Amino acid sequence: MTRFAAPIAEQIWDMKYRLKEADGTPVDASVEATWARIAGALAAVEKEPAAWEGRFAKALEDFRFLPAGRITAGAGTARSVTLFNCFVMGTIPDTMGGIFDALKEAALTMQQGGGIGYDFSTIRPKGAAVHGVAADASGPLSFMDVWDAMCRTIMSAGSRRGAMMATLRCDHPDVEAFIEAKSDAARLRMFNLSVLVTDPFMEAVKADGPWELVFDGRVYKTLPARDLWNRIMKATYDYAEPGVIFIDRINKMNNLAYAETIAATNPCGEQPLPPYGACLLGSINLARLVRDPYGEAPHIDEAELAELVGDAVRMMDNTVDASRFPLEEQRAEAQAKRRIGLGVTGLADALVMLGLEYGTDDAVAQTRTWMKAIARAAYLASVEIAKEKGPFPLFDAEPFLASGTMAQMDDDVREAIREHGIRNALLTSVAPTGTISLYAGNVSSGIEPVFAAAYTRKVLQKDGSRTEEEVVDYALQIWRAQGGEGLPPAFIDAQTLSPAAHVRMQAAAQEWVDSSISKTINVPEDIGFEAFKEVYLQAYETGCKGCTTYRPNDVTGSVLSVSQEAPAPALVSEEGGEVVYLSEPLERPTTLEGNTYKLKWPESEHAIYITINDVIVGGHRRPFEIFINSKNMEHFAWTVALTRMISAVFRRGGDVSFVVEELKAVFDPRGGAWMKGKYIPSILAAIGGVIEEHMVAIGFLEAAGSGLKSDPQAELLTGRRPGKACPSCGSYELHMIEGCMTCASCGFSKCG
């Protein structure tokens, strides 16, 4: 009898969390063995490990408590990995040496799998004087490009995929360029971007007042605050970035306001952290705690919830001691404050099983009740640990209790902290849970609404064939198991939910979360710009610490579609394998016109010659085939392969400019080269540049950098715009949830 509620859950466990030997031989014989491994590792730091190991295993049982993926995959494995999810790096000095020291620290952290955040506001703006070298500064965005290249290099070396957050203050002179950065589809792909929005700025926006862009005491520009706000809003309306972080609110509410200043967050925004700040994550699975679901008195038992929260807090506090850290500064910061981020998942499913429709007043009230109960239990559990092991080293009772978060806490909790101290400076957060929610039986993710009741997933079998399986939301599984037909009465999905309902739920949860929340407010494609801006103002006015929206369009791609339309006709090879042509290939005329380009890669003995031939279609010239030749035999195999693949794409027709962007995005871990005053990250990127130059010359592209970042012909496969393909499994089931592009088919998440 399997513990898994769905086949996809077992597959996620086997692929991501099951301990295996280097050759793939399983070490964890079952998911129970995985739970035992985690429980043993986190109990090992106790004075009496045997007394806690059983309790920890019970907390993990039936997926009630879900440590974040790095803990689940890494605890008890003896591997040199960090169990922490979130890092904000040290303050970047405004010197060349300091900047590249910070880059090295970021690379070491990402090499161990940590997602990192950086505030680039400390770097002087573009054009500012650099004293002593008679030059002008290149500005923070130029150094962000270097970070972006570093992240690609770390990934290409086989390390865990990276995620980075870059923040810039709303009064930095380069904020306008920062806002527009993602309009270039090929730029800063490894970053999430957020503007640090201050309270004075929001007041200036509401009053339609002026706003100064300042650095080091010098005013570089004054502009209307509303103009800058509208530019932020228009960029995120069009490109889903930058996000908005209400940084003054974060610092005012911070329990540690007396000991630190926050200027950045981790990649998904749920952990605002100080320089070298680190935090680990875990989630209470509310969906698994509902008793008598759909019955006469469905509820979550308060005593069971409090006990589970207490064990989860102790497990996470022990993780601080059990984990490795990429940098000594991160270890010292974690030990001094012992931050943890305990959150929830399965909230929407739990509400459905109680008969409450997500986003309604009753659901908002129930969410607030659950989140307060978790916060109370977490703080009281941390006090109990402090009695035994001592409070966190930087604890100072009066300023701690005077913080914005603690000021609203119940009196009995405040008195307990005043008398005994507290083990953990901050305890609650709502993190992205896309993958672990699938692992737990496809419960709804975090505090997000259910994204789809069910969808069909194509599964690649060992023999190469593909089968289809239905992936059903956990609350719907329970409904069906009880004989229910159709959808439960309170069921509502993200497609039909109003943006205002999203914000109400985020604000209700935020009231009792001392860190922050990773949540995406999905808005319809046809939402008006003024209505879109109101979403952000509502988030600010209702106490949210940040706001992230996602509007599906031709740039961002579509959200997950639950409809399964008939695929386009496919051609089948004689061997029986399926070969899908996305459009009719162009026919080759007898003669073609073209151009040959000479590409000399530095330190390469022989030049590469690239010939691109064109065809006339509808009176317009377009690329049809490419030939790549070189006397260097080291290049022979891959140049032949590249020739054939690019030519095949060209012959499909349609807008094939995405080929340029894909090639230009390839980074060589051995380093690139400077060509014509510009850094080219790889020889493949150089070839992409030649193809782009040719496309511009023949009028196929208007200008360099104007090509597509994805393949528009892919929509013909299903008859609908599918958005972007999953980089892990290739399916068109990516959707934005909790600030992360997440694949519903395989569990891939951009944020790890």
Average pLDDT, the chain: 87
Calculate mean pLDDT across residues 9-32. 92
Q: What is the rounded (10 degree) CA torsion for 266, 270, 273, 277? A: -60
Distances (CA, A) of 183 to 25, 236, 411, 588, 706: 45, 10, 50, 36, 10
Structure tokens at 386: 């402090």
pTM assigned to the model: 0.79
CB atoms within 10 A of CB 672: 20
> pLDDT (tens digit, 9 = 90+) per residue, 641-666?
888 889 888 887 777 888 888 888 88
> pLDDT (tens digit, 9 = 90+) per residue, 339-362?
999 999 999 999 999 999 999 999
Calculate mean pLDDT across residues 539-557. 88
The pLDDT value recorded for residue 51 is 93
Q: How many CA atoms lie within 13 A of 518 on its CB side?
A: 32
- Read out DSSP for 519-564? --EE--TT--HHHHHHHHHHHHHTT-SEE-EE--BTTTBPPPP---
Calpha distance 268→667 (Å, rounded): 25
Looking at the predicted structure, is the pLDDT value of residue 385 above 90?
Answer: yes
Calculate mean pLDDT across residues 3-28. 91
> pLDDT (tens digit, 9 = 90+) per residue, 59-69?
999 999 999 99
Helix or strand run (H / E) with residue 195: strand 191-197
Calpha distance 56→36 (Å, rounded): 8
Structure tokens at 286: 């509310």
The pLDDT value recorded for residue 66 is 98
Looking at the predicted structure, is the pLDDT value of residue 450 above 70?
Answer: yes
- Read out DSSP for 258-326? TT----EE-TTSS-EE-TT-EEEEEEEEGGGGEESTTSSS-EE-HHHHHHHHHHHHHHHHHHHHH-B-S
- Please tell me what DSSP assigns to residue 25: -
Calpha distance 111→652 (Å, rounded): 39
More confidently predicted of 642 and 591 = 642
The pLDDT value recorded for residue 173 is 98
The pLDDT value recorded for residue 276 is 96
The pLDDT value recorded for residue 64 is 98
CB atoms within 10 A of CB 494: 22
> pLDDT (tens digit, 9 = 90+) per residue, 96-113?
999 999 999 998 888 777
**Is residue 678 packed enough to be buried (19+ CB in 10 Å), middle (13-18) or exposed (0-12)?**
exposed
Q: How many residues does the chain have?
A: 752
Calpha distance 115→163 (Å, rounded): 5
Calpha distance 708→550 (Å, rounded): 20
Distances (CA, A) of 744 to 7, 10, 73, 470, 726: 13, 14, 20, 11, 9
The pLDDT value recorded for residue 731 is 62
Q: Which residues are catalytic?
A: 266, 268, 270
Q: What is the rounded (10 degree) CA torsion for 22, 23, 24, 29? A: -80
The pLDDT value recorded for residue 632 is 74
Helix or strand run (H / E) with residue 644: helix 636-650
- Please tell me what DSSP assigns to residue 518: -
Determine what percent of the chain is predicted with pLDDT higher than 90: 62
Calpha distance 178→164 (Å, rounded): 15
Closest residue by Cα to residue 699 from 612, 614, 646, 620: 620
- Please tell me what DSSP assigns to residue 112: T
Calpha distance 557→742 (Å, rounded): 13
Structure tokens at 38: 């985690």
Helix or strand run (H / E) with residue 500: helix 499-510
Determine contact, residues 610/627, Cβ cutoff 8 Å: yes
